[in-house]
Amino acid sequence: MDPELIKDCVHCGFCLPACPTYSLWGEEMDSPRGRIHLMKQHVEGTPLTPEMAGHFDACLGCMACVTACPSGVRYDRLIESTRAEVERVHRRTASDRAFRALVFGLFPYPRRLRALRLPLKADQTLGPRLRPLLQRVAPRLSAMADLAPPLTPRVRLPRLVEARGERRAVVGLLTGCVQAEFFPRVNAATARVLAMEGCDVVIPPGQGCCGALSVHSGRPEEAARFARRTIETFERAGVDTVIVNAAGCGSSTKEYADLLAGDPAWAARARALRFADLSEFLAELGPAAERRPLPITVAYHDACHLAHAQGVREQPRALLAGIPGLRLREIPDAAMCCGSAGTYNLFQPEAARELGDRKAGNVLSVRADLLVSANPGCTMQIASAVRRSGQEIRVAHTAEVLDASLRGLSPTSLG
């Protein structure tokens, strides 16, 4: 909790309208400037109380306040260091510790997520009968089950997908954890799109977690272990540019040098690799493959860790708008978080549910055929909220929409 970063806040209040938890509750201590005030108190000697920890836990880490702040306050760095302090000194309840151990012992490990597919399949078959009981007995586990998308067949990717036509670049592909196990078609579409745009795509086997969930949850040592493994994986693969198609992963991988700053050698290795979001990279590369018509109305959702953390907003919109026949519609209050925020919808299910319901209402209001999201957590969160409303909407990743256009597929193939 850097006192110099804390001093940058002038408590002007520009962050308040952008903050999801302040919009929910109107409580000063659940706003960015309120939390910074609590950080200042702690740095000056006030012990970290359970109430203070609760206000820090309630933050989604969406970084909308960073975008809104006219003073350049690095709230992103402040909240990450604060969460590490909370994990170090705050004593959680036994049930909270047990649930957090389950989440962090499961989600960062693709093989363990894979083992979850069988019970999830059973839940999706028996859910209507068992879910009310699960909600009463274990509401957090119920929230986890509600978020799970319909399971699709696994997709095995080759180690190399060769460029079609003239080779314009050689890139690596980060396959991720949740993306790989719950949305395997997104990775397959990403590889095909890159290949059709003239890229050799190197996909190292045995990839692990990039560390995003850990770094955003106050577990920097664990995150650093995952970061070093990811760096080594792509160094061995012989690439210097790595494409990321999940917003939270992209945000974290771009900050590897900061995460590993305590070890200059590793920080230098992190800086030698470039991690880029798919839409960011494709916008720089420029189109080469023919876009075929895709007559469909699309609502594009800004994932917080893409728009606020990485500043990638116009590139995905430009890629979608470049598809003939595609009509792009903007979602009202687009900059407000959907409530996913990595693991937030598991640890804070009630607040996440309210934010998800708001986002679902805004999405449905534009009457689009398809919702496009660039983050698996957002996809699960919004789709779950739409189902709760009694409606349905097809959801796809930007890569899947581009893939359908480049291959001349029907709009019905999406979602």
Q: What strands lie across the sheet with 160-161, from one edge to the other?
A: 160-161, 199-202, 169-173, 241-244, 274-277
CATH level 2 (architecture), domain 160-283: 3-Layer(aba) Sandwich (3.40)
Query: Which pTM does this prediction carry?
Result: 0.91
pLDDT at 312: 96
Q: Is 251 exposed, middle or buried (0-12, 13-18, 19+ CB in 10 A)?
A: buried
pLDDT at 111: 81
Q: Are the C-beta atoms of 383 and 372 separated by less than 8 Å?
A: no
pLDDT at 147: 77
What are the domain boundaries of the chain?
3-89, 98-147, 160-283, 290-413
Phi, psi (rounded to 5 degrees) for 200: -75, 130
Q: Are the C-beta atoms of 306 and 312 separated by less than 8 Å?
A: yes
pLDDT at 150: 74
pLDDT band of residue 295 (cuts 50, 70, 90) is: very high
Q: Tell me the mean pLDDT in the region 207-224.
A: 93
Average pLDDT along the chain: 92
Spatial distance between the Cα atoms of 406 and 344, rounded to a whole number of angstroms = 36
pLDDT at 400: 98
The CATH classification number of 3-89 equals 1.10.1060.10
Could you check whether 160-283 and 290-413 share the same CATH topology?
A: yes
Spatial distance between the Cα atoms of 212 and 78, rounded to a whole number of angstroms = 16
Residue of higher predicted confidence among 102 and 252: 252
Spatial distance between the Cα atoms of 201 and 163, rounded to a whole number of angstroms = 7
pLDDT band of residue 29 (cuts 50, 70, 90) is: very high
CATH level 2 (architecture), domain 290-413: 3-Layer(aba) Sandwich (3.40)
What is the per-residue pLDDT across 135-184, written as a single tens digit (0 to 9) for each? 665 666 666 777 777 777 778 899 999 999 999 999 999 999 989 888 99
Supply angle C-alpha 23, 83, 146, rounded to 5: 60
Spatial distance between the Cα atoms of 106 and 110, rounded to a whole number of angstroms = 8
What is the per-residue pLDDT across 253-294, written as a single tens digit (0 to 9) for each? 999 999 999 999 999 999 999 999 999 999 999 999 999 999
Query: What sign has the CA pseudo-torsion 63, 247, 279, 395?
Result: negative
